[in-house]
Structure 1
C-alpha cells in the first residue's frame, strides 16, 4: 500500500498549467495495476465503470471524480508551483483591455522588472504577433515558457509611445498576502492561496497591522481556490473560539481534526470575505469559523468542493492525486456541491458591508440614518438630516470614509436640514461610503449613513 504523502483541498489553478500526459506511462500495466490498488483501498466517491477492466491510466481517471488526476513528474511540479503562486514567465499580473493586455503589477526581480516594464503599460504584441482582442489566458500561454528562454514583447506606454523589449523568462512568485490599514483602524488581509507558508504569512500580517493600530480585521478569501490542508488547520488556530478545524470522512474511518492553536489571535468580530470562487481549503476554514461563531462571513455562497485529495508517489516517480475524503465544518453541514452560505449575503463587493459593519461597532451610541442609494453625481451629494440636529453639527466633525479604503477629504455646507458634501476629488462609480457625523459634545448623539454611488 502506497503511503499518502500530502493532503490537499485545492480546485482553482492560479496559473495556466501546460499538462501533457506521458504516453509512455499510459499503458504501463504494472503502473496501472498499482493505481488500481490505491483506488480500491483509499478512493472516496463513485467509480463510474469497471475498474478491473480498465487498460489505461486515462481510462481509470475517467471513472473517477474530476479532482482525481494522474501527474507526470513535471506536471506535479507545475501543480505544486501553482499552489505556492510560483511559475515561469516574464513576471507580470495582467487583465484584459480594449487596447491589448493591461499590466497591473510588475513582480520585483522578474524578467519584466529587469527589462524596465512598468505597471500601466499595455502589451499589444508577443513575438511579433498582435494580442489585441485576445484573452488573458491566450496572452499568458504566449508569455510563459521554459526558464531562461526569451520573448519579444511590444508595449504601448502611458504616453502612447510604443516600445519592444526582449524579456528573459524567469521563475517568480506572486505575493500571496496583501494588507492595508483601512479607515477606522480596520486591518485588511487578503490571502490568494493556502500555500505551505500561508498561515505564517497571515500571522505576520496580523501582528504587523496590530502594531500599526488595527483593532478589528477583515480576512479576504475571495477567489482563493485552496491548497494545503495543514495551512487551513493552522489558520483556524488564529481564531479565539475555534478549537476544531474540520470533520473528515475517509474510506474506512472518520476523524475530528483539531485546529493548530497559535499564540496570536484575531479578535472575535473578525469578518471573512468569500465568493463563488472561494473553494476547498477556503471553504474548510470558512465553515469551521462559521460553525464555531469564531468570525462573521460576508459575500456569496462558496464554490462547493468539500472533497480532500491525497498525493501518492508511484513506482516510476509519477504521482496520483486521489480524492481520499469528504470534509465538513464542526457542525457537520454538507459542503461538497453545496458550498458554505455566509452569515451576511451581499449583492455588491462584500468588503463594503464588512467595513461598514466594523465601523458601526466602533460607534455603538451613534444612530444610523437611512441609506442613500444610487447617487449619480460624483462631484457632490446632499443628505437630509433630522430636525434639531443642525445645531449639533460642526463642519469639522464630519467625515466621509470610502468603504474598503481610506478617508475622503470633503467640504461641507449646511443649509437648514440639507447637508451638502463636496469631496476634494470625484467619488468613484459603484463605490460605497460611510458618512460620519460626530457630535459636538459627549452628551449629544452622533450619526452615520451608508452612501452608495451608482455607475
Structure 2
C-alpha cells in the first residue's frame, strides 16, 4: 500500500516554549541587573552569566557543593577590565560545576554554533566533540560527513589527546572545538586514541564543510523499492527538508524507508521533535525533567508525513536530539533500531545571547525516552547489533550496515504482505462459508 503523506499543521512544543521562556528570562536579567555597587561592563558580564546559571541550571543541589555564591565573589575580586578578563573569570567560575555542556561561548565560537544550527557551512576539520562521563576525556561523537576528519577515517568514540600540543581536558570542550576551527587551508595537528587501537598523530587541513543535513535517494532491488533518508544533524531547516524528502520518496512509490541517524550528534531539540512528528501519530516523543524534578511528556502531532514500514540505523555517533528520535521510534514500536549503542547524551541546553555578543550554554533539563529510560551516559541499545567493523562512510557504496538494513526491511515487507494475503484468504473463506450456510438454510425453509 502506498504510504499516505498528509500535510501536518505546525504547533508549539513545550520544549520550544522552554527555549523562549529561558531566552525571555535571560533578557529579563539583562534589564534588571543593576547592582548596588558600580560595576564596569566586563564585570556586569560575569554577574549576568552567574545569574543565568543560578536561575536555570538543572541541578541546583550542585550549588551548595561548589559554594556557588562564593565563586561569584571570587570572580569579582579579580581585576576585570576587558571582555577577555570577563571570559576567563566566567570560565573559572563554571569549572567546579563539572558540566562540560554548561559553558561560555566566546563571540567567534558562538557565531560558529549559530551557523551550524542554521545548517550552513563551517570552516574546520569537522569533528563533533563530547565529554566522556567517567573521566571527562574529550572524545569524538562523530566526524561530519565529507570533512577532513571523516576523510582521514576518524571514528566515533576516538579520544582527542591533544590539539597542537595542548590538552583538551585542560582547554575544555568549547576551547578545544575553537582550536579545531580556522581559516581554510590552515593546518592543525591532533593526537588521537581510537577505541581499540594505539594513539596516532594526524595533520588535518581545515576546509569549508558543507553540512547538508538531509540526504535522500531511492534503493531498488529485484523485488522492492525502498527510500533512504539520512539526517546528519538537526539544524533549523531540517524539518522542512525532511518533509520535502518524504514527499519526493512517496511520489516514487517506495514500499519502506531506511532512516539513517548514524553520526548525528544532535542540534536543535525543537527540530528533532518536529521530525518525530513526521513518523509518530499522537504518541509520546520524550519526557523532560526540569530542576524541580517535574516530568513533562511531549506528544507527537496526530497527522504524520510517513506511516509506512521503516527501520532506523544508529551508532555511537547518534546523540542528543537524534537519541530522542531514536528512543521514541523504538519505545512506540514504530521502527526497530539496527547498528550499535548510541552515545548517551540525555541533557538539554539553552543558548542565551550575552550583552557583548558572546553566548552562554546552560544545562536546563534532562530527558527520558517514552518508556522512562534515562539514557545519560548509557545510550540506547539497538534491537539488533550489527557486526563490526563499522562502515566509515555511512550511506556510501561500501556501507555494509545499510545493506543489512535493506535486507531487513525487505524481509519485513515480505512478512507483512504474506500476513495480509493470509488475512484476505481467511476473509474470502469466511465469506464463502457464510454464503454456503445461507444457501443450505434457504433449501431447508418450507
Structure richer in strand, relative to its length: 1
- 5 Å-filtered alignment, 1:97-136, equals none
Report whether the alignment pairs 1:5 with 2:23.
Answer: yes
* 2:67 corresponds to: 50
Q: 1:182 to 1:4 in 2, by over 3 A?
A: same
- 5 Å-filtered alignment, 1:180-329, equals 180-183=217-220, 184-241=224-281, 243-252=283-292, 253-267=294-308, 269-329=309-369
- 5 Å-filtered alignment, 1:297-446, equals 297-348=337-388, 349-364=400-415
Q: 1:236 to 1:40 in 2, by over 3 A?
A: same
Deviation at residue 50 of structure 1 after TM alignment = 2.2
* 2:204 corresponds to: 139
**CA separation in 1, counterparts of 2:40 and 2:348?**
25
Report whether the alignment pairs 1:62 with 2:73.
Answer: no
Q: How many correspondences in the alignment? A: 293
Q: 1:42 to 1:175 in 2, by over 3 A?
A: same
Q: 1:136 to 1:89 in 2, by over 3 A?
A: farther
Q: 1:182 to 1:127 in 2, by over 3 A?
A: closer
Deviation at residue 84 of structure 1 after TM alignment = 3.6
Q: 1:241 to 1:262 in 2, by over 3 A?
A: closer
Deviation at residue 71 of structure 1 after TM alignment = 1.4
Q: CA RMSD in A?
A: 3.6
Deviation at residue 235 of structure 1 after TM alignment = 1.1
Q: Deviations over 1:270-327 (max 9, x none)?
A: 1111001100001011111111112111111100000000122233342210000000
Maintained 8 Å contact 1:247/1:330: yes
* 2:216 corresponds to: 179
Moved beyond 6 Å, runs of 4+: 126-131, 133-137
- Any idea what SS the aligned residue of 1:180 has? strand
**CA separation in 2, counterparts of 1:185 and 1:37?**
55
Maintained 8 Å contact 2:214/2:242: yes
Deviation at residue 362 of structure 1 after TM alignment = 3.5
Q: 1:173 to 1:84 in 2, by over 3 A?
A: farther
> Unpaired segments of 5 or more residues in structure 2?
1-19, 25-38, 76-88, 126-144, 154-183, 193-199, 389-399, 419-446
- Any idea what SS the aligned residue of 2:66 has? coil
Maintained 8 Å contact 1:44/1:251: yes
What is the TM-score of this pair, normalised by structure 1? 0.57
Deviation at residue 196 of structure 1 after TM alignment = 0.9
**CA separation in 1, counterparts of 2:123 and 2:100?**
28
Deviation at residue 53 of structure 1 after TM alignment = 2.3
Deviates more, 1:186-195 or 1:197-206: 197-206
Counterpart among 38, 42, 45 of residue 52 in structure 2: 38
**CA separation in 1, counterparts of 2:269 and 2:361?**
14
What is the TM-score of this pair, normalised by structure 2? 0.58
* 1:444 corresponds to: none
Q: Deviations over 1:72-96 (max 9, x none)?
A: 3332110122234423559993457
* 2:120 corresponds to: 86
